[in-house]
């Protein structure tokens, strides 16, 4: 049975990969992509679909209640990726994160609530493991489960935790068919170059050093974006309303280990590491227990194994230098802004 999806933030890293994934695996579905084209939203990621009858792009703000209501009225389900997502930027200014992540989510939820049959619109809210806070380095046995308390450490993760709680409340209070997913750190194609893997690769291509926070011992659980997209699609189709599902790959690496792996793949040595002062409130370890997703949905990551997945990702950025150079220069933003504002 075909569906009509509204995808928010579909021009971002994970959102654009999800559009590609759905078009590949559910080719009869209709997709409407709502994106405001903020600094990290890049329509070039979806250039293949510009003349695709199954894909429609709408430039707009998820806080625009009238627009959101109109688009939701036309769709069967919403997959909500749109978010401000960079921790360092949230530390510098939390305002945009509160607006997009909290008020934007509320606007979407209220639009569904206002429908004649709100329970008929499935809402998948894509969140992050950062809402749980961090885990100690000396307890490798501990992992975040869906029952772990929310204890966010940064303005970014606090805004995502707030939006998670809104989704939960709108399900319990108003009966919305809403589900939350919480993923670990994503990597893969089309990631904005401020994030660590594309930042390090592009710096090395340009013969610039890579900045390593603090002692480099902070641990993250890495998942390839295609594994994440597959999990979100399965949750959309088979997840239980009102539930949260952790999406991870059991692939923990320290930042120092990641740095050395990228240096090795790029044929460089540790002289290219530039130690920098640690981030404020830097969480020490994230680790996801994905047992619930496997037990209830039969999903397990299959594309995130290292070194192969990291090698393929590094190769993608080396092979797509024109893409990330345009992103870094802001040229794509000027071009697409002119295109869409002239329509």
Segment 164-181, tens digit of pLDDT: 999 999 999 999 999 999
**Which residues lie across from 55 on neighbouring strands?**
31
What sign results for the dihedral spanned by CA atoms 150, 151, 154, 155?
positive
Rounded average pLDDT over 9-25: 96
132 among known catalytic residues: no
Residues 6 or more apart whose Cβ sits within 8 Å of residue 72? 6, 78, 108, 111, 112, 115, 121
pLDDT of residue 227: 98
Q: Which two tokens stand for residue 208?
A: 């610039």
Contact 157, 130 (CB under 8 A): yes
Confidence of residue 336 (pLDDT cuts 50, 70, 90): very low
- The whole model's pTM is what? 0.93
Dihedral over Cα of 116, 119, 123, 125: its sign: positive
Residue in the structure block whose two tokens are 């904005």: 192
**Of these residues, 55, 132, 156, 332, which one is catalytic?**
156
Helix (H) or strand (E) holding 197: helix 196-205
Tokens of 84: 């401000």
Which residue is catalytic, options 35, 61, 130, 177?
130
At residue 335, does pLDDT exceed 80?
Answer: no
Pick from 14-28, 229-243, 319-333: least confident: 319-333
Give yes or no for a contact between 14 and 187, defined as CB atoms under 8 angstroms apart: no
Give catalytic status of residue 129 as yes or no: yes
Res 174: pLDDT: 95
Q: How far is residue 128 from each of residues 69, 76, 133, 260, 303, measured CA to CA in Å?
A: 26, 24, 10, 26, 19
Give 219-251 as a DSSP string.
Answer: EEEEEEHHHHHHHHHHHHHHPPTT-EEEE--S-
Mean pLDDT of 118-132: 94
List all residues 6 or more positions away from 322 whose beta carbon is below 8 Å from its beta carbon.
none
Looking at 35, 61, 84, 129, which residue is catalytic?
Answer: 129
- Answer whether residue 343 shows pLDDT above 60: no
In the block, tokens 């189709």 appear at 237
List of E strands, 54-176: 55-59, 77-80, 122-128
282 φ/ψ angles, rounded to the nearest 5 degrees: -65, 115
Tokens of 134: 């961090």
pLDDT over 90 (residue 313): yes
- Residue 177 forms beta bridges with which residues? 122
The verdict on whether 156 is a catalytic residue reads: yes
Tell me which residue of 169, 168, 134, 182 sits closest to 154, measured CA to CA: 134
**What is the C-alpha radius of gyration for the chain, rounded to an integer number of angstroms?**
19
* 86-120 residue pLDDT tens: 888 889 999 999 999 999 999 999 999 998 888 88
Q: Which fold has domain 4-341?
A: Rossmann fold (3.40.50)
pLDDT average, residue stretch 59-71: 97
Task: Return d(Cα 254, Cα 337) in angstroms, integer.
Answer: 39
Say how far apart CA 109 and CA 59 lie, in whole Å.
19
Q: Binning pLDDT at 50, 70 and 90, where does residue 1 land?
A: low
Nearest Cα neighbor of 244 from 230, 257, 231, 253 is 231
Distances (CA, A) of 216 to 170, 257, 262, 275: 40, 8, 14, 9
Report how far residue 111's alpha carbon sits from residue 108's, in angstroms, rounded to the nearest whole number.
Answer: 5
SS3 91: helix
Handedness of CA 332, 99, 232, 121 (dihedral sign): negative
What percent of the chain is modeled with pLDDT above 90? 82
The token pair at 8 is 């928010």
Q: What is the average pLDDT value for the chain, to the nearest integer?
A: 92
Top pLDDT among 329 and 296 is at: 296
């Amino acid at each position: 049975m075909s569906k009509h999806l509204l995808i928010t933030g579909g021009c971002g890293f994970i959102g654009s990969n999800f559009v590609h994934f759905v078009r590949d695996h559910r080719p009869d579905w209709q997709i409407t992509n709502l994106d405001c084209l903020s600094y990290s939203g890049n329509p070039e990621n979806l250039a293949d679909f510009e003349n695709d009858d199954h894909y429609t792009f709408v430039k707009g703000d998820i806080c625009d209640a009238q627009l959101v209501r109109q688009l939701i009225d036309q769709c069967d389900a919403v997959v909500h990726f749109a978010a401000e997502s960079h921790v360092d930027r949230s530390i510098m200014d939390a305002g945009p994160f509160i607006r997009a992540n909290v008020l934007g989510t509320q606007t979407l939820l209220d639009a569904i609530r206002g429908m004649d049959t709100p329970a008929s619109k499935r809402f998948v809210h894509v969140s992050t493991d950062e809402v749980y806070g961090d885990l100690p380095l000396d307890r490798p046995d501990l992992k975040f489960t869906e029952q772990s308390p929310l204890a966010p450490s940064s303005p970014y993760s606090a805004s995502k935790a707030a939006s998670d709680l809104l989704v939960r409340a709108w399900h319990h209070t108003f009966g919305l068919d809403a589900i939350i997913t919480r993923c670990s750190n994503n990597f893969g194609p089309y990631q904005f170059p401020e994030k660590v893997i594309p930042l390090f690769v592009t710096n090395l291509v340009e013969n610039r050093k890579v900045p390593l926070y603090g002692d480099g011992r902070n641990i993250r659980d890495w998942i390839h974006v295609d594994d994440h997209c597959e999990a979100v699609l399965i949750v959309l189709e088979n997840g239980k309303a009102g539930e949260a599902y952790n999406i991870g790959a059991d692939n923990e690496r320290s930042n120092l280990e990641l740095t050395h792996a990228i240096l090795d793949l790029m044929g460089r040595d540790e002289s290219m590491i530039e130690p920098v002062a640690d981030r404020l409130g830097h969480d020490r370890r994230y680790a996801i227990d994905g047992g619930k997703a496997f037990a209830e949905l039969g999903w397990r990551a299959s594309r995130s194994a290292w070194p192969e997945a990291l090698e393929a990702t590094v190769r993608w950025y080396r092979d797509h230098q024109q893409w990330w150079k345009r992103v870094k220069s802001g040229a794509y933003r000027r071009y697409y802004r002119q295109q869409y504002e002239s329509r």
